[in-house]
Protein backbone atom coordinates (compact mmCIF):
# COMPACT_ATOMS: atom_id res chain seq x y z
CA UNK A 1 0.00 0.00 0.00
CA UNK A 2 2.83 2.33 0.92
CA UNK A 3 4.48 1.69 -2.47
CA UNK A 4 1.22 2.53 -4.26
CA UNK A 5 0.96 5.83 -2.38
CA UNK A 6 4.55 6.74 -3.23
CA UNK A 7 4.03 5.81 -6.90
CA UNK A 8 0.88 7.91 -7.05
CA UNK A 9 2.71 10.85 -5.52
CA UNK A 10 5.54 10.54 -8.06
CA UNK A 11 3.09 10.40 -10.97
CA UNK A 12 1.27 13.46 -9.65
CA UNK A 13 4.55 15.35 -9.25
CA UNK A 14 5.57 14.36 -12.76
CA UNK A 15 2.28 15.53 -14.23
CA UNK A 16 2.52 18.79 -12.30
CA UNK A 17 6.01 19.34 -13.72
CA UNK A 18 4.80 18.79 -17.30
CA UNK A 19 1.88 21.18 -16.73
CA UNK A 20 4.19 23.82 -15.27
CA UNK A 21 6.57 23.53 -18.23
CA UNK A 22 3.70 23.81 -20.69
CA UNK A 23 2.52 26.95 -18.95
CA UNK A 24 5.90 28.64 -19.33
CA UNK A 25 6.20 31.17 -22.14
CA UNK A 26 8.38 29.95 -25.03
CA UNK A 27 11.91 31.32 -25.10
CA UNK A 28 12.38 34.41 -27.26
CA UNK A 29 14.12 33.67 -30.57
CA UNK A 30 16.52 36.53 -29.93
CA UNK A 31 18.86 37.77 -27.21
CA UNK A 32 18.53 41.30 -25.91
CA UNK A 33 22.03 42.67 -25.33
CA UNK A 34 22.74 43.85 -21.80
CA UNK A 35 24.78 46.74 -23.23
CA UNK A 36 23.20 48.16 -26.41
CA UNK A 37 25.70 49.13 -29.11
CA UNK A 38 25.43 52.60 -30.73
CA UNK A 39 24.26 52.50 -34.36
CA UNK A 40 26.24 53.83 -37.31
CA UNK A 41 23.58 56.34 -38.36
CA UNK A 42 21.73 57.92 -35.42
CA UNK A 43 18.09 58.51 -36.25
CA UNK A 44 17.81 55.35 -38.31
CA UNK A 45 16.94 51.81 -37.24
CA UNK A 46 19.99 49.69 -37.94
CA UNK A 47 20.00 46.07 -39.10
CA UNK A 48 23.43 44.42 -39.12
CA UNK A 49 24.38 41.13 -40.75
CA UNK A 50 27.66 39.60 -39.61
CA UNK A 51 28.97 37.16 -42.19
CA UNK A 52 31.99 35.39 -43.66
CA UNK A 53 32.63 34.68 -47.34
CA UNK A 54 33.77 31.18 -46.38
CA UNK A 55 30.48 30.34 -44.63
CA UNK A 56 28.10 28.16 -46.70
CA UNK A 57 25.15 29.25 -44.54
CA UNK A 58 25.94 32.90 -45.29
CA UNK A 59 26.11 32.05 -48.99
CA UNK A 60 22.75 30.27 -48.85
CA UNK A 61 21.28 33.29 -47.04
CA UNK A 62 22.29 35.68 -49.84
CA UNK A 63 19.35 35.06 -52.25
CA UNK A 64 16.95 35.43 -49.32
CA UNK A 65 18.35 38.52 -47.62
CA UNK A 66 19.28 40.55 -50.71
CA UNK A 67 15.70 41.08 -52.02
CA UNK A 68 14.68 41.95 -48.47
CA UNK A 69 17.42 44.56 -48.18
CA UNK A 70 16.36 46.17 -51.45
CA UNK A 71 12.85 46.75 -50.09
CA UNK A 72 13.81 48.19 -46.70
CA UNK A 73 12.10 51.50 -45.86
CA UNK A 74 14.11 54.71 -45.72
CA UNK A 75 14.27 54.78 -41.93
CA UNK A 76 16.20 51.48 -41.84
CA UNK A 77 19.96 51.30 -42.41
CA UNK A 78 21.36 47.90 -43.39
CA UNK A 79 25.02 47.19 -42.62
CA UNK A 80 27.19 44.19 -43.41
CA UNK A 81 30.10 43.51 -41.08
CA UNK A 82 32.68 40.77 -41.68
CA UNK A 83 33.26 38.45 -38.72
CA UNK A 84 36.99 38.13 -38.12
CA UNK A 85 37.96 35.12 -36.03
CA UNK A 86 41.46 34.68 -37.43
CA UNK A 87 43.01 32.96 -40.46
CA UNK A 88 40.86 33.09 -43.61
CA UNK A 89 38.13 34.95 -41.69
CA UNK A 90 40.53 37.87 -41.27
CA UNK A 91 41.76 37.76 -44.87
CA UNK A 92 38.24 37.70 -46.31
CA UNK A 93 37.09 40.37 -43.86
CA UNK A 94 39.92 42.66 -44.89
CA UNK A 95 39.04 42.08 -48.54
CA UNK A 96 35.41 43.02 -47.88
CA UNK A 97 36.37 46.18 -46.00
CA UNK A 98 38.77 47.14 -48.80
CA UNK A 99 36.11 46.71 -51.46
CA UNK A 100 33.66 48.67 -49.34
CA UNK A 101 36.15 51.51 -48.90
CA UNK A 102 36.69 51.56 -52.67
CA UNK A 103 32.95 51.78 -53.25
CA UNK A 104 32.82 48.62 -55.36
CA UNK A 105 31.73 46.01 -52.82
CA UNK A 106 28.13 46.00 -54.07
CA UNK A 107 29.34 45.28 -57.60
CA UNK A 108 31.53 42.29 -56.77
CA UNK A 109 30.07 40.91 -53.50
CA UNK A 110 28.18 38.10 -55.24
CA UNK A 111 31.17 37.23 -57.44
CA UNK A 112 33.47 36.91 -54.41
CA UNK A 113 30.98 34.64 -52.68
CA UNK A 114 30.65 32.54 -55.84
CA UNK A 115 34.42 32.27 -56.29
CA UNK A 116 34.95 31.01 -52.73
CA UNK A 117 31.86 28.84 -52.37
CA UNK A 118 31.45 27.39 -55.87
CA UNK A 119 34.82 27.77 -57.59
CA UNK A 120 36.69 26.82 -54.39
CA UNK A 121 39.13 29.70 -54.65
CA UNK A 122 40.81 30.39 -51.31
CA UNK A 123 41.36 34.13 -51.85
CA UNK A 124 43.37 34.44 -48.66
CA UNK A 125 46.42 36.03 -50.29
CA UNK A 126 46.05 39.68 -51.24
CA UNK A 127 47.70 39.17 -54.64
CA UNK A 128 45.33 36.31 -55.47
CA UNK A 129 42.46 38.56 -54.39
CA UNK A 130 43.72 41.38 -56.62
CA UNK A 131 44.11 39.06 -59.63
CA UNK A 132 40.60 37.70 -59.23
CA UNK A 133 39.02 41.09 -58.60
CA UNK A 134 40.74 42.46 -61.69
CA UNK A 135 38.61 40.01 -63.70
CA UNK A 136 35.60 41.73 -62.13
CA UNK A 137 36.70 45.21 -63.15
CA UNK A 138 38.43 46.23 -59.91
CA UNK A 139 41.66 48.20 -60.30
CA UNK A 140 44.42 45.86 -59.09
CA UNK A 141 46.92 48.48 -57.95
CA UNK A 142 44.29 50.54 -56.17
CA UNK A 143 42.99 47.44 -54.41
CA UNK A 144 46.46 46.47 -53.13
CA UNK A 145 47.21 50.01 -51.98
CA UNK A 146 43.87 50.28 -50.17
CA UNK A 147 44.16 46.78 -48.67
CA UNK A 148 47.27 47.74 -46.70
CA UNK A 149 46.18 51.28 -45.87
CA UNK A 150 45.94 52.79 -42.41
CA UNK A 151 42.23 53.43 -42.97
CA UNK A 152 41.52 49.72 -43.52
CA UNK A 153 43.50 48.77 -40.43
CA UNK A 154 41.21 51.10 -38.49
CA UNK A 155 38.14 49.47 -40.03
CA UNK A 156 39.45 46.04 -39.03
CA UNK A 157 39.78 47.15 -35.41
CA UNK A 158 36.26 48.58 -35.52
CA UNK A 159 34.76 45.39 -37.00
CA UNK A 160 36.42 43.26 -34.33
CA UNK A 161 35.25 45.55 -31.55
CA UNK A 162 31.67 45.46 -32.81
CA UNK A 163 31.65 41.66 -33.06
CA UNK A 164 32.92 41.53 -29.47
CA UNK A 165 30.24 43.95 -28.26
CA UNK A 166 27.55 42.00 -30.10
CA UNK A 167 28.91 38.86 -28.39
CA UNK A 168 28.65 36.77 -31.56
CA UNK A 169 29.91 33.20 -31.72
CA UNK A 170 29.07 32.34 -35.33
CA UNK A 171 27.57 33.56 -38.60
CA UNK A 172 25.30 34.56 -40.13
CA UNK A 173 24.12 36.60 -37.16
CA UNK A 174 21.81 39.61 -37.25
CA UNK A 175 21.64 42.56 -34.89
CA UNK A 176 18.69 44.96 -34.82
CA UNK A 177 19.35 48.51 -33.63
CA UNK A 178 22.32 47.45 -31.55
CA UNK A 179 19.95 45.73 -29.09
CA UNK A 180 18.71 42.38 -30.36
CA UNK A 181 20.86 39.46 -31.59
CA UNK A 182 19.66 36.33 -33.36
CA UNK A 183 20.66 33.86 -36.06
CA UNK A 184 18.91 31.69 -38.61
CA UNK A 185 18.83 28.74 -36.24
CA UNK A 186 17.26 30.58 -33.32
CA UNK A 187 14.75 32.24 -35.64
CA UNK A 188 13.69 28.94 -37.19
CA UNK A 189 14.98 29.49 -40.73
CA UNK A 190 16.12 32.14 -43.22
CA UNK A 191 12.67 33.54 -43.99
CA UNK A 192 11.77 33.49 -40.30
CA UNK A 193 14.95 35.41 -39.48
CA UNK A 194 13.88 38.23 -41.77
CA UNK A 195 10.35 38.16 -40.37
CA UNK A 196 11.85 38.49 -36.91
CA UNK A 197 14.02 41.38 -38.11
CA UNK A 198 10.87 43.10 -39.43
CA UNK A 199 9.13 42.60 -36.09
CA UNK A 200 12.05 44.04 -34.15
CA UNK A 201 12.35 46.97 -36.55
CA UNK A 202 8.63 47.68 -36.02
CA UNK A 203 9.16 47.43 -32.26
CA UNK A 204 11.98 49.96 -32.37
CA UNK A 205 9.99 52.27 -34.65
CA UNK A 206 7.05 52.21 -32.25
CA UNK A 207 9.35 52.86 -29.28
CA UNK A 208 10.88 55.87 -31.05
CA UNK A 209 7.44 57.33 -31.82
CA UNK A 210 6.27 56.76 -28.26
CA UNK A 211 9.35 58.50 -26.87
CA UNK A 212 8.76 61.47 -29.16
CA UNK A 213 5.18 61.98 -27.95
Q: Work out the average pLDDT over 76-99.
A: 98
151-171: pLDDT as tens digits: 999 999 999 999 999 999 999
pLDDT at 29 over 50: yes
Q: Map out the domains of the chain as residue ranges.
A: 31-212
pLDDT band at 24 (very low <50, low <70, confident <90, very high): low
Q: What is the pLDDT of residues 41-57, one digit of tens each?
A: 999 999 999 999 999 99
Q: Is the pLDDT of residue 2 over 50?
A: no
Q: Does residue 13 register a pLDDT over 50?
A: no
Strand positions, DSSP E, the chain: 31-32, 45-51, 76-82, 173-176, 180-183
User: How far apart are the C-alpha atoms of 208 and 211, rounded to whole Å?
Assistant: 5
**Lowest-pLDDT choice from 20-34, 36-50, 164-178, 189-203:** 20-34
Radius of gyration of the chain (CA): 23
Say if residue 14's pLDDT is above 90. no
DSSP string, 148-165: TSHHHHHHHHHHHHHHHH
Domain 31-212 -> CATH class: alpha beta
For residues 55 and 71, what is the distance between their CA atoms, to the nearest angstrom? 25
Closest CA to 172 of 49, 64, 66, 89: 49
Closest among 94, 64, 68, 81 to 171, alpha carbons compared: 81
Q: Quick one: pLDDT at residue 122?
A: 98
Q: Residues 196, 182: contact at Cβ < 8 Å?
A: yes
Amino acid sequence: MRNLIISAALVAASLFGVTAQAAEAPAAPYVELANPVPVAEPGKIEVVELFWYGCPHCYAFEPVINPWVEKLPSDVNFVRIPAMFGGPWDAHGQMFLTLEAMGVEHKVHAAVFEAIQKQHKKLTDKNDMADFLATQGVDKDKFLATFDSFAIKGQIVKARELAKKYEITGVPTMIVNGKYRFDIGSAGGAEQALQLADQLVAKERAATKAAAN
